Amino acid sequence: MRTSRLLLGLLLIVALTACRREVGFNEDGSIAMRPTRTPKPAMLTATARAAGTATPTVVVDTPTPTPTRAAPTTTAVYYTVRPGDTLSGIATAYGTTVEALVRLNGMANADHLAVGQRLQISLNAQYTGPGTLLIPDSELIYGPAYKDFDMMRATAAFAGLFKTYSEEVEGVRMTAPEIVALVAERYSVGPRVLLTLLELRSGWLTAANQSAEQLAYPLGYTDITYRTGLFHQLSLAADALNVGFYGWWMDTLWLVRTRDGTYIQFSTQLNAGTAGVQRALAPASADYQTWMADLTRFAEVYRRLFGDPFALAVEPLMPPGLKAPELLLPWPKGVTWYYTGGPHPGYGSQGALAAIDFTTDERNIGCAVSRQWATAMAPGLVVHSREGLVLQDLDNDGFVGTGWVLTYMHVAAEGRVQTGTMLKAGDNVGHPSCEGGISNATHLHVARRYNGIWIAADDPRWPMTLSGWTPASTGEAYDGTLFRAGETRTACECWEATNAIQH
């Protein structure tokens, strides 16, 4: 049931997670959710420019988090090779290159990896980045700050390529605004942040003419391993934003790497939203100096397009007394399914370990559509149903960025519930398949968000308990258990008593 043993993990973290199934370029940790850091007054200076014309420097009051992280004594990272690893997979997971790993480890042949071999992934950071805040946390995620955001209205006045561009996405011709909206909704990242990155890198919003490179790589991710086109480039940016955001919250991400191989350590003064932006900018920045300039440009471009981001802040994102919804196992009562994937990223290659996987008892069917039904885990409104993905809104307000939202992934088109359907717990959602994302075996992927934030499946405050079964992660993606009243089931890509669960 796995596409490959590609490695996943937050960029340059000690605890690398192993990718097994829903991975690849744009597919679908334990996240230790922490309260928003206590703000205190500070000053952020940004130079605003409109259409390339400098205007006076703007000084804006913005909150600065009280530091809660102590910098590590070393940021050098090592990794021990596992069965199925490739050097290219390791490089992709850690945001580096095969060439850099070969050079750093004095390897004669990049194809010769030995299980148990210890690789050095990074050097100690050469610089510490700035602590200036760029955006509030609520601006990076697709949450309450975007409830009244209208993509078409927000971009209608811009006369650049964005206005007329379209491309085929998963077999459907889509306009640029539709592509941004799709990526924002899937990854749960803020569309204003995506639009700012797009304008910063290629001027797509305001400029009618772009270079060949800006057309092919509109977000500036030009490494040969990166795919071209707006959809793929935006998906890379969304994934990187999540890497930085959740890496900061989990205290696992400390380094970003620019295109020339320079490692930069985060300041302890950041917030998660700014860490996400710094991480997303780094792979497309030539070196440290360029990255620093890009941070300043990001603040300038954002304010030119949308005004003061801190005026849009919504806090707290996780209110006191929040309770997790009561959920059912996502298949009919009396039927046995199998627990095949422990906690792993909710969507994309990295981030909060928000999802778990199940498959039916139909053995060795490959990617054939299951005859069995996946069912609703709770009552709520279907707000998205396409390309294998169903999003169910439990507060029924029709917006995926507020309240609890459930994700059902790899649901086949035939028989899939339609957008706008009000489901009761136990109603049919659709048939498990390989549709949506990247998968080479039929299964169902389920996850949760709250106010746009991916919630870890085994978060101790809000565990994703399904009919009494509660997940526990080992800390490595796709590994873990479910337990209920003295019973334990262990995630396994198999059909055994040890992972069988009868509803």
| pLDDT tens digits for range 459-499 | 999 999 999 999 999 988 899 999 999 999 999 999 999 99
350 has a pLDDT exceeding 70: yes
pLDDT value of residue 95: 65
For residues 268 and 202, state if they share a domain. Answer: yes
| In-domain check, residue 341 | yes
85 has a pLDDT exceeding 80: yes
Could you tell me the sign of the dihedral formed by the alpha carbons of 138, 185, 349, 471, in that order?
Answer: positive
| In-domain check, residue 215 | yes
Kindly report the three-state secondary structure assignment for every residue of 30-61. Answer: CCCCCCCCCEEEEEEEEEEEECCEEEEEEEEE
Q: What number is the average pLDDT over the span 242-250? A: 89
pLDDT tens-digit readout, 98-137: 888 888 898 988 888 888 898 987 767 889 999 999 999 9
29 has a pLDDT exceeding 50: no
For residues 90 and 143, state if they share a domain. Answer: no
For residues 308 and 404, state if they share a domain. Answer: no
Q: What number is the average pLDDT over the span 217-246? A: 92
Q: Rounded to an integer, what distance in angstroms lies between the CA atom of residue 80 and that of residue 230?
A: 35
Q: Rounded to an integer, what distance in angstroms lies between the CA atom of residue 4 and that of residue 115?
A: 16
pLDDT > 90 fraction of the chain, expressed in percent and rounded: 67
CATH code (residue 503): 2.70.70.10
| In-domain check, residue 166 | yes
pLDDT value of residue 104: 85
Q: Rounded to an integer, what distance in angstroms lies between the CA atom of residue 401 and that of residue 355?
A: 18
For residues 333 and 290, state if they share a domain. Answer: no
Q: Is 101 or 68 the better-scoring residue by pLDDT?
A: 101
Helices assigned H by DSSP within 250-324: 272-281, 288-306
Q: How far is CA 214 from CA 5, 198, 201, 203, 209, in A?
A: 33, 10, 8, 8, 9
For residues 368 and 496, state if they share a domain. Answer: yes
User: Residue 133: CB partners within 8 Å, gap ≥ 6?
Assistant: 42, 44, 62, 63, 64, 65, 270, 271, 273, 274, 310
Q: Is 348 or 279 the better-scoring residue by pLDDT?
A: 279
Q: How far is CA 497 from CA 329, 339, 481, 490, in A?
A: 17, 10, 13, 10
Last residue of a domain, one of 281, 312, 343: 312
- The answer to whether 253 and 243 have CB atoms below 8 angstroms apart is yes
For residues 259 and 369, state if they share a domain. Answer: no
Q: Rounded to an integer, what distance in angstroms lies between the CA atom of residue 427 and that of residue 430?
A: 9
User: Residue 73: CB partners within 8 Å, gap ≥ 6?
Assistant: none
pLDDT value of residue 84: 81
For residues 115 and 133, state if they share a domain. Answer: no
pLDDT value of residue 123: 67
What band does 332 get if pLDDT is binned at 50, 70 and 90? very high
Summary mean pLDDT of the chain: 84
For residues 340 and 463, state if they share a domain. Answer: yes
Comparing 37-46, 275-284, 356-365, the range with the smallest average pLDDT is 37-46
Last residue of a domain, one of 254, 287, 312: 312
Q: What number is the average pLDDT over the span 277-301? A: 97
Torsions phi, psi of 202, nearest 5?
-140, 0
| In-domain check, residue 208 | yes
Q: Rounded to an integer, what distance in angstroms lies between the CA atom of residue 135 and that of residue 279?
A: 13
| In-domain check, residue 15 | no
CATH code (residue 82): 3.10.350.10
| In-domain check, residue 17 | no
pLDDT value of residue 192: 98
| In-domain check, residue 38 | no
For residues 300 and 185, state if they share a domain. Answer: yes
For residues 210 and 116, state if they share a domain. Answer: no
Amino acid at 311: A
452 has a pLDDT exceeding 80: yes
| In-domain check, residue 48 | no
pLDDT value of residue 15: 28
If one counts the domains in the chain, the total is 3
* Strand pairing class (127-128; 263-265): parallel
Q: What number is the average pLDDT over the span 10-26? A: 29
**Angle between helices 191-202 and 230-249 in degrees, nearest 10:** 120
pLDDT value of residue 438: 78
38 has a pLDDT exceeding 70: no
Last residue of a domain, one of 283, 312, 341: 312
pLDDT > 70 fraction of the chain, expressed in percent and rounded: 85
58 has a pLDDT exceeding 50: no
User: Tokens at residue 371, please?
Assistant: 């005859």
For residues 336 and 414, state if they share a domain. Answer: yes
Comparing 38-52, 58-72, 153-167, 359-373, the range with the smallest average pLDDT is 38-52
Comparing 136-140, 256-260, 393-397, the range with the smallest average pLDDT is 256-260
For residue 107, what are the domain limits? 78-120
For residues 281 and 170, state if they share a domain. Answer: yes
pLDDT value of residue 11: 30
